[in-house]
Amino acid sequence: MNTSFDSLQTPCLILHQSRFDANVTRLYEKCKVHKTAIRPHLKTAKSVALAKRMQRAPMTGITVSTLHEAEYFYNAGFNDILYAVTIAPNKIERAVTLATKCPSLILLIDNVTVFKIFDRFVQGIKAEHQFNIRLMIEIDVDGHRAGLLPNEEELLALAQSIVESRNFTFCGLMTHAGESYTCQTPVDLQQHAKQEVERMQEAKRFLQQHDIKCPVLSIGSTPTANAYENLDEIDEIRAGVFVFYDLVMTNIGVCTIDDIALGVLSTVISHKKSHNRVIIDAGGLALSKDRGTASQKADFGYGLLIDALTWIPIGQLVVNQANQEHGVVYLQNTEQFSNLPVGAKVIVLPNHACMTAAAHSEYHVFEDGRIIDTISRINGW
Amino acid sequence: MNTSFDSLQTPCLILHQSRFDANVTRLYEKCKVHKTAIRPHLKTAKSVALAKRMQRAPMTGITVSTLHEAEYFYNAGFNDILYAVTIAPNKIERAVTLATKCPSLILLIDNVTVFKIFDRFVQGIKAEHQFNIRLMIEIDVDGHRAGLLPNEEELLALAQSIVESRNFTFCGLMTHAGESYTCQTPVDLQQHAKQEVERMQEAKRFLQQHDIKCPVLSIGSTPTANAYENLDEIDEIRAGVFVFYDLVMTNIGVCTIDDIALGVLSTVISHKKSHNRVIIDAGGLALSKDRGTASQKADFGYGLLIDALTWIPIGQLVVNQANQEHGVVYLQNTEQFSNLPVGAKVIVLPNHACMTAAAHSEYHVFEDGRIIDTISRINGW
């Protein structure tokens, strides 16, 4: 074990810097080939230092999942920000406060009800502030969660309302192909990616038929971002977890275990010889309770154990049971006790990087067998 | 909707104060009947304000799950602290630093290997500091995770080593009956509670036979704490989630839904009429991905929806799907759209209060239909 690990309090979050860099480069190169911009979703990284590390062509702006993230990145110098959750009535005032300082902030909407509330609110403060709010409409391409269908009447009504209001600028259409997380094969993925693109083209044409110009088509999800073949008319890709990848993504087939750039450093705290188990100090709080791999082809429990220095899996050991501050690892044979003495450090690769990262307030940066830096991240709303 | 909710950013954590108080009182009264002390486990609440609200007889000390919690509560004036995770070699130095300021700190151990490391460490600094470290031994009463069996040789060897070392004071035996979380009926629970007590009595006798006096027997878990019948020789009970309760505890049968004192306030952000779904702004990060009720008699998805003012369930609606910042609620009928207009506030009761609370940095205190206070909590290690 490298001595630099010894200074870390376990459990803590480790970022494998060269894997992170390689993951970013790989998707950026793909976007360059397709001649699309990329607007990384920073809901996973939530770190200014990491966002700056990603800041090069074809990255244009950034995507965030909370207003807290939007404010945090704006305060660090980022201006072209898409807040990619449909705006709630009780978040309008806070969003507008940010938009007055950051006019390139783009907000998202998917229904006329909230638009009317929003329009009245902006109208009410128009005398004080001379600005337009930039809005995109969320499209549903796969029935996963929010958004309007590519050809439904409310889409047209909403787009028309935005275009006609003097308080807003219509910036285009966005979607998240969230259902792609259930894909099992490369063919499934390509099909899903194709459907995502085509439904967005369809929505754009639907609006064009009614003389509404759609400046931007923004699409994305880490699974589909790796599977696009034709991106005609698509202006930008959004993806988030691709910077780290995780075990869910390994099962979907868009990365290998050797691409995963995030893990939780943990210490073996007890041997339970009567049960052939080892106990580590990373439990449900440090790993998250996300069991995303439970329904996939390989079930990794609460995460896969790897060697902390080499990042090579330790047999096929996983965290089988996660209490709040205890992770219980069921050994495959008694010889494994000697590879995992009490006090040994291991890293646990996450099922779902977004959830695991959110349990921590900083990344310890691993490079060439050493911890070279500690960088902060944010949480909360 | 009471106006005081409007000032809150959703999602956020709400504490139902009168339910919290009632939950505390109920278990405290039970302990009084049994003439045992209670040492509440603050891993769930993680709040000085809440700990002080619980500070009355028969509460003696407190239990914590991390050294960060131990330091936090010590700095707020708590002295009698049990750090109830078996000490890891890399945490010894930090624990000893706290013990030099807080001599009544009790640490936990379950193996001779770490004890030897610990003993050497304390011996090495003994010249500077004149003090003994207080140690308890963890006993395994149900094969759940860590701890030594009540009659195994290593228990005797470890207890003898502690007693013989001039660096430590042996404080007794503790256990967590974690397997009680799988109980399905009151009879199961009583059986499990009885087993917990008897195994600890057995361990105490085993040590006594070898002339080792065991000053304290400390037991507990929220399920068994509600089911003890005979507590002969048991000195203190530990429990944590009982202050809030949650849906997992409802299924185990130790509380009702009307006892649950913790929820996540959320806003309806979209109607997905084509799918008969409502989308709220509490997703996996705000609720946690704990699916503890999935294997129980009633599966509450990612949490049960209740009215934010009355705390009465809204039909049988649950959060069926949790993305990072989206909760998707499948409606039972289309009429429910009108009860949950876009912008409406709902509260989601948690599957597992410990995990849900950990996603938040403060509690908004609800009493008599209003938010009367905001109090902080800690996270991390």
Judge contact between A261 and A190, C-beta under 8 A. Answer: no
Write the DSSP assignment of B302-361 as a string of letters. Answer: T-EEEETTT--EEEEEEB-EE-SS-EEEE-SSTTHHHHS-TT-EEEEE-S-HHHHHTT-S
Q: What's the structural domain count of chain A? A: 2
The DSSP bridge partners found for residue B170 are: B135
Q: Which residues of chain B lie closer than 8 angstroms to A6, CB-CB?
A: 90
* CB of B261 closer than 8 Å to CB of B244: yes
Average pLDDT over residues B307-331: 97
Comparing CA positions, the residue from A204, A241, A311 lying closest to residue A50 is A241
> Which B residues 126-155 touch A at CB under 8 Å?
140, 143, 145-146, 149, 152
Among residues B282, B280, B278, B281, which one has the least CA distance to residue B338? B278
For the beta carbon of residue B18, count every other beta carbon within 10 angstroms.
Answer: 11
Helices (H), chain A: 3-6, 17-34, 48-53, 67-75, 92-101, 112-125, 153-164, 186-209, 222-225, 247-252, 284-287, 336-339, 353-357
B327–chain A nearest CA distance, Å:
9
The Cα–Cα gap between B375 and B379 comes to 14
DSSP state letters, A173-206: EEE--GGGGG--SHHHHHHHHHHHHHHHHHHHHH
Can you give the pLDDT at residue B4?
A: 75
Cβ–Cβ < 8 Å for B50, B243:
yes
Chain B, window 261-300: residues with a beta carbon less than 8 angstroms from a chain A beta carbon? 267-272, 274-275, 277, 279, 281, 284-286, 288-291
Report which of B39, B24, B26, B36 is spatially closest to residue B229, judged by C-alpha positions. B36
CATH of the domain at B350: 2.40.37.20
**Cross-sheet strand order for the sheet of A168-175:** A37-38, A236-237, A216-219, A168-175, A133-139, A106-109, A81-86, A62-64
A203 is in which domain, residue-wise?
Answer: 79-239
Q: Looking at the complex, does the CB of residue A114 fall below 8 Å from at least one CB of chain B?
A: yes
Which of B65, B110, B281 is the closest to A324 by Cβ? B65
Looking at the complex, report in whole angstroms how far the Cα of residue A152 sits from the nearest Cα belonging to chain B. 10
Could A9 and B275 be called an inter-chain contact, meaning their C-beta atoms sit closer than 8 Å? no
A98 and A204 fall within a common domain: yes
- Structure confidence by residue, pLDDT tens digits, A195-227: 999 999 999 999 999 999 999 999 999 999 989
pLDDT above 80: residue A131: no
For residue A30, being part of any structural domain is answered with no
Mean pLDDT over B158-182 rounds to: 95
Q: Measured between CA atoms, how close is B120 to chain A, in angstroms?
A: 15
Sheet holding B81-86, edge to edge: B37-38, B236-237, B216-219, B168-174, B133-138, B106-109, B81-86, B62-64
Instruction: Give the C-alpha separation, A362 to B92, whole Å.
Output: 23
Q: Is the pLDDT of residue B366 over 80?
A: yes
CB atoms closer than 10 angstroms to residue B257: 17
For residue B272, which residues of chain A lie inside 8 Å, CB to CB?
A: 140, 145-146
Residue A129 confidence (pLDDT): 67
Spatial separation of the C-alpha atoms in residues A228 and A106, rounded to whole Å: 25
Q: What is the pLDDT of residue A2?
A: 46
Q: Is the Cβ pair A88, B328 closer than 8 Å?
A: no
Query: Which amino acid type is present at position A170?
Result: F
The last residue of a domain, from among B239, B273, B306: B239
**In this structure, are A98 and A210 located in the same domain?**
yes
Q: Name the domain boundary from A207, A239, A271.
A: A239
Chain A residue with Cα closest to B140:
A272
Please tell me whether residues B231 and B261 are part of one structural domain: no
Among candidates B88, B325, B380 on the partner chain, residue whose Cβ is nearest the Cβ of A281:
B88
CB contact under 8 A, B343 and A290: no
Tokens 């140690």 correspond to B135
How many other CB atoms sit within 10 Å of the CB of residue A165? 19
DSSP A311: -
If DSSP codes are grouped into helix, strand and coil, which group holds residue A319?
strand
For residue A342, being part of any structural domain is answered with: yes
Q: Are A299 and A197 part of one and the same domain? A: no
Instruction: Read off the pLDDT of residues B31-86 as tens digits, 9 standing for 90 and up.
Output: 999 999 999 999 999 999 999 999 999 999 999 999 999 999 999 999 999 999 99
Q: Which of A215, A239, A263 is the last residue of a domain?
A: A239
Q: What pLDDT score does B1 carry?
A: 39
Helix (H) or strand (E) segment spanning residue B212: none
Quick one: A85 and A232 in the same domain?
yes
Mutation choice for B interface testing from A325, A345, A371 by most B CBs within 10 A:
A325
User: Domain check: are B205 and B98 in the same one?
Assistant: yes
| Chain B nearest CA to A209, separation (Å) | 23
pLDDT at B238: 97
CA-nearest of A247, A341, A243, A262 to A303 is A247
The tens digit of pLDDT for each residue in A273-311 reads 989 999 999 999 999 999 999 999 999 999 999 999 999
Residues B87 and B174 occupy one common structural domain = yes
Contact B145 A90 (CB under 8 A): no
- Same domain, yes or no, for B205 and B93? yes
Q: How many CB pairs under 8 A join A and B?
A: 176
Are A85 and B281 within 8 A, CB to CB? yes
- Does residue B163 register a pLDDT over 80? yes
Does B328 touch chain A if contact means CB atoms closer than 8 Å? yes
A152 vs B contacts (CB less than 8 Å): 274
Q: What confidence score (pLDDT) does residue B292 get?
A: 96
CATH at B89: 3.20.20.10
Contact A90 B343 (CB under 8 A): yes
Its pTM stands at 0.97
| A residues 212-271 closer than 8 Å to B (CB) | 267-271
Instruction: Say yes or no for a CB contact (<8 Å) between B270 and A361.
Output: no
Asked, for residue B55, whether it belongs to a domain, the answer is: no
By Cβ distance, the residue of B11, B111, B321 closest to A381 is B11
Checking DSSP bridges between strand A216-219 and strand A304-307, what pairing results, if any? Answer: unpaired
Pair A261, A234 in one domain: no
User: Do B285 and B232 reside in the same domain of the chain?
Assistant: no
Average pLDDT over residues B299-304: 98
**Domain shared by B157 and B301, yes or no:** no
> Cα separation of B40 and B379, whole Å?
18
Complex confidence, ipTM: 0.96
Q: Are residues A100 and A125 in the same domain?
A: yes
Answer whether B65 sits within 8 Å of A272, measured CB to CB.
no
Q: What is the pLDDT of residues B284-296, one digit of tens each?
A: 999 999 999 999 9
Task: Using DSSP, state whether A17 is helix, strand or coil.
Answer: helix
Q: How far apart are CA A306 and CA B344, in angstroms?
A: 45
Of the CA atoms within 13 Å of residue A12, those in its CB half-sphere come to 23
Kindly tell me if the per-residue pLDDT of B107 is higher than 60.
yes
SS3 A306: strand
Portion of chain B with pLDDT greater than 90, in percent: 93
A270: closest CA among B113, B221, B355?
B113
